[in-house]
Structure 1
Amino acid sequence: MKIAMVSEHASPLAPLGGTDAGGQNVHVAALSATLAQRGHDVIVYTRHDGTHSERTIHTDDGYRVVHVPAGPPRPIPKDEILPHLGEFAAFLRDDWAREHPDVVHAHFWMSGMAAELAAHGTGIPVLVTFHALGTVKHRYQGRADTSPPARIRIERLVASRSARVIATCSDEVGELTKMGVPPHHVSVVPCGVDLDLFTPDGPVAERGAPHRILSVGRMVPRKGYDLAIAALRELPDTELVIAGGADDKGKTHAEARRLRGCAHRIGVGDRVHLLGSVEHTAMPELIRSADVVACTPWYEPFGIVPLEAMGCARPVVATAVGGMLDTVVDGVTGALVAPNSPEALAAAIRPLLDNPHLAASRGAAGRRRAENSYSWERVGTRTLTAYRKVCARRVDRAAMSA
């Protein structure tokens, strides 16, 4: 099968940790590699931002990355890409005229818009994974939401015109239903985790306190690191390590300064350590050094970090939002807590620090859950099922019209 992946801002080749580089990049890269390893011809289309000089890169994982000339050849925030989508779509249409894909899988609403414009009238089915929805982002960020004003309206159009929507969690299905997308038009396929990289056994990073809590992700306010910092007041002899973030025009530095100020104001500054960006391949040894991995965002469309922690057999305490309602099983692989409650967070973490056997049991259950439900092999199989469903429907329509 010829598969075109469209990921306009999230290149699978980009280093993680920047403002616009996170879980979607990992998802696109790992899914493309999984499908390529099964013998499918996979091309990822992403915007040319000047990072790589080559138009097309053949990756070691067997898929190709095509850098699409659309807008200035330099990094720009994803919220500034919309005016360049016409140019992006024109490139796709020309490229697909030469090399016709069997199916297109667009990632994010702008990719969906460009892919549907390019495929219009060709009969090529376009599936869309939104990764995040504008309605949810606006609900939680309000005036701080920098998305283009047309985002929510365009998302509805993209969803309605797609051959199928692939949601990453059950919470997203509910949000899509509120947008008018019928449930029968949606398949749920979660993100996955590399279980060969994220393992219970292997090197362990050093730590400086009897207990360690680890939080991982981009250095942005919605990740809720201040909640974990506040919980430290109830957790003596415990350090909090926050990994993630890269210098992006001072934005991540500003958030780091805010978090350090928060820690010092409540008297835990000496127990909070901000590591900055950590290489993805170095993350397992850092996770293994933690007693508990805390994931405390205000909202989280899916969240790959809980899966990486589960792969390393570490218990996860997470806020009960978004995709973590699916991945974290309360009382089995860790705990789910109410958002914005440092007291609830501390109360959920405390038993895991006090009882290593309980923590080990929760971690082992997490590893089993990751193996059973979130390996990239399983995710690849479920994704291919969605592809084949829309391709079969296309063949049936062609036969009926013949």
Structure 2
Amino acid sequence: MLEESKTIISKDDSYTTQGRERGRIAMISTHGYVAAEPPLGMPDTGGQVVFVIELSKMLAELGYVVDIWTRQFDDQPEREKVAENVEIRRVPCGGPDFIPKEYLYKSLTEYTSKAKKIIAEENISYDFINSHYWDAGLVGQSLSQHLETPHVHTPHSIGSWKRKQMEEDFPEDKAAFEKTYNFTERIRNEQAIYRECDTLVATTPIQVDLFESDYDISSKKIVMIPPGYDDSRFYPVSAASREVIRDHMGFSGKQVVTSIGRLSRNKGFDLLVDAFAVAAERNPNAYLFMALGTETDETTEDPMLEEIVAKVKDHGIEDRVTIGSSLPDDAMADFYRASDVFCLPSRYEPFGMTAVEAMACGTPTVVTTNGGLYRTLVYGSEALYADSFDPHDFGLSIAKILKFKNLSDRLSDKGAHKARSLFTWSGIAQQLINAVHASKAPKLSFV
């Protein structure tokens, strides 16, 4: 069993709690399966849920009590402890069943009313509220006004950008996109939330540009804070340890290209199959392993899986492609470490947390240019990036890493260093606190 490294957080005087009561933060993330150990791959449950959980734990390490407010459904418990001074608070609304995030807003008036009652009964006060995605933003803004507490909103993705990209690339599906993603309602609410919140958090430079151009938000309100990763879990291991992991996963003697995520049109796994076919033609020892989360209440994802399987057969690479189910969270780090190349092939991706985790584990990574992460990376040194709408371009990028060991070694070393220097949760948490402090909003008691 691998020995995990330990994260050591350096606290200066501004973050100590000597002789003072801890501050309190409300994190709001209403959709999906928010849990201490989130079931990744379930509908609307992925990078954002991990972001909220990990950021909350690190804020607690910095001296805060953190309440994570989410929706209660599927017989989930009302309260769940995540870590010391971090607790999930679930409030029911809209019935007992799962509701897709695009239509959850219809039930949020009920949610907010119940949350206000709980907060009043328990006499809770917050230093600030941090909401995530536009559904939670509606709740966060209402609670902020009611409690006279600063509201920091983190959108994670932006409706105007996603709608524009999808309609440009698939104009014949415009009506279907509107029905599925509810873009008109989403963008209308995003506009109001972005203007009314106290601080707007962009996770990439692209988002900063879009807030200003598409929503006419002043740059004075915007702060850029990238997502983080848990550096006590995701880190490189020795060559000997890596070979043990590869043998356990059945990767020995192969050059394995991997990807992981929820099966969704915007994730680009069908394009990755096309790209891998390009790489496989040049490398007879290349194999593709995709871990796809397909558990959902909807049936619309079934045709996507059928399409991917059909593509594999059309390329004649059935014996070189494995499509597995989503991995448990505790298997993720070894999955990255065992890979020779990790791919983020998304058509649309606000950031790409799995790519950062892979880089942190020392895995050479190819990311999409249809997202925000690539603008923070040095091409050829920290990662390669390619257009996921161009399978030939993406496939050649994969093939180069598999062929040239010097390139692979450089990406492994420099990519891991970049992840450690820019994306650890301790740094992200302190950036958030600094952003609230810089806004000079009232009622802040820093610990």
TM-score above 0.5: yes
Distance 1:368 1:225 in 2: 28
Q: Which amino acid aligns with 1:328?
A: L
Give the deviation of 1:44 after TM superposition: 0.3
Equivalent residues of 1:7, 1:107 under 8 A apart: yes
Distance 2:253 2:312 in 1: 17
TM-score (ref. length: structure 2): 0.84
TM-score (ref. length: structure 1): 0.93
SS in 2 for 1:294: strand
- Which residue, 294, 299, 314 being the options, matches 1:246? 294
Equivalent residues of 2:150, 2:441 under 8 A apart: no
Distance 2:93 2:354 in 1: 31
Kindly indicate whether residue 125 of structure 2 is the aligned counterpart of residue 103 of structure 1.
no
Kindly indicate whether residue 26 of structure 2 is the aligned counterpart of residue 4 of structure 1.
yes
Superposed CA RMSD in Å reads: 1.8
- Which residue, 377, 395, 402 being the options, matches 1:328? 377
Q: 1:300 maps to which residue?
A: 349
Q: Which amino acid aligns with 1:4?
A: A
Name the stretch that deviates more: 8-17 or 366-375: 8-17
Equivalent residues of 2:64, 2:85 under 8 A apart: no
Number of residue equivalences: 394
SS in 1 for 2:311: helix
Q: Which amino acid aligns with 2:293?
A: G
Q: Which amino acid aligns with 1:216?
A: I
Kindly indicate whether residue 101 of structure 2 is the aligned counterpart of residue 78 of structure 1.
yes
Distance 2:42 2:377 in 1: 26
Distance 1:160 1:47 in 2: 25
Equivalent residues of 1:353, 1:359 under 8 A apart: yes
Name the stretch that deviates more: 272-281 or 22-31: 272-281
Name the stretch that deviates more: 137-146 or 239-248: 137-146
Kindly indicate whether residue 363 of structure 2 is the aligned counterpart of residue 314 of structure 1.
yes
Q: 2:202 maps to which residue?
A: 167
Give the deviation of 1:360 after TM superposition: 1.6
- Which residue, 373, 377, 400 being the options, matches 1:351? 400
SS in 2 for 1:227: helix
Change in Cα spacing, 1:147 to 1:235, as seen in structure 2 (3 Å) is closer
Distance 1:274 1:327 in 2: 30
SS in 1 for 2:212: helix
Q: Which amino acid aligns with 1:326?
A: R
Q: 1:130 maps to which residue?
A: 155
Equivalent residues of 1:209, 1:239 under 8 A apart: no
- Which residue, 45, 54, 79 being the options, matches 2:69? 45
Distance 1:49 1:395 in 2: 33
Give the deviation of 1:290 after TM superposition: 1.3
Equivalent residues of 1:189, 1:379 under 8 A apart: yes
- Which residue, 227, 237, 242 being the options, matches 1:191? 227
Distance 2:67 2:376 in 1: 29
Q: Which amino acid aligns with 2:217?
A: V
Q: Which amino acid aligns with 1:67?
A: R
Distance 2:75 2:413 in 1: 40
- Which residue, 203, 212, 216 being the options, matches 1:180? 216
Q: 2:276 maps to which residue?
A: 232
SS in 2 for 1:235: helix
Give the deviation of 1:253 after TM superposition: 3.6
Kindly indicate whether residue 102 of structure 2 is the aligned counterpart of residue 58 of structure 1.
no
- Which residue, 365, 375, 379 being the options, matches 2:414? 365
Name the stretch that deviates more: 185-194 or 380-389: 380-389
Name the stretch that deviates more: 110-119 or 248-257: 248-257
Equivalent residues of 1:291, 1:314 under 8 A apart: yes
Distance 1:59 1:278 in 2: 21
Change in Cα spacing, 1:94 to 1:313, as seen in structure 2 (3 Å) is same
SS in 2 for 1:329: coil
Equivalent residues of 2:26, 2:129 under 8 A apart: yes
Name the stretch that deviates more: 193-202 or 136-145: 136-145
Distance 2:79 2:277 in 1: 51
The sequence identity of aligned pairs, in percent, is 25
Name the stretch that deviates more: 135-144 or 123-132: 135-144
Give the deviation of 1:121 after TM superposition: 4.6
Kindly indicate whether residue 64 of structure 2 is the aligned counterpart of residue 32 of structure 1.
no
Kindly indicate whether residue 204 of structure 2 is the aligned counterpart of residue 156 of structure 1.
no
Distance 1:379 1:152 in 2: 27
SS in 2 for 1:244: strand
Give the deviation of 1:223 after TM superposition: 0.9
Distance 1:272 1:42 in 2: 43
Equivalent residues of 1:314, 1:360 under 8 A apart: no
Distance 1:293 1:342 in 2: 15
Distance 2:73 2:403 in 1: 49
Name the stretch that deviates more: 182-191 or 12-21: 12-21
Distance 1:86 1:316 in 2: 43
Q: Which amino acid aligns with 2:255?
A: H
Q: 1:393 maps to which residue?
A: 441
Distance 2:389 2:312 in 1: 16
Q: How does 1:193-208 map to 2 (within 5 A)?
A: 193-201=229-237, 202=241, 203-204=245-246, 205-207=249-251
Deviation string for 1:342-363 (max 9, x for gaps)? 1111221222111223202111
Name the stretch that deviates more: 146-155 or 31-40: 146-155
Q: 1:400 maps to which residue?
A: none
Distance 1:75 1:114 in 2: 18
Kindly indicate whether residue 255 of structure 2 is the aligned counterpart of residue 211 of structure 1.
yes
Q: Which amino acid aligns with 1:228?
A: L
Give the deviation of 1:130 after TM superposition: 0.4
Distance 1:141 1:93 in 2: 37
Deviation string for 1:188-238 (max 9, x for gaps)? 111111112112115333227621111111111111112221122322321
Give the deviation of 1:39 after TM superposition: 1.9
Distance 1:326 1:246 in 2: 30
Q: Which amino acid aligns with 2:189?
A: I
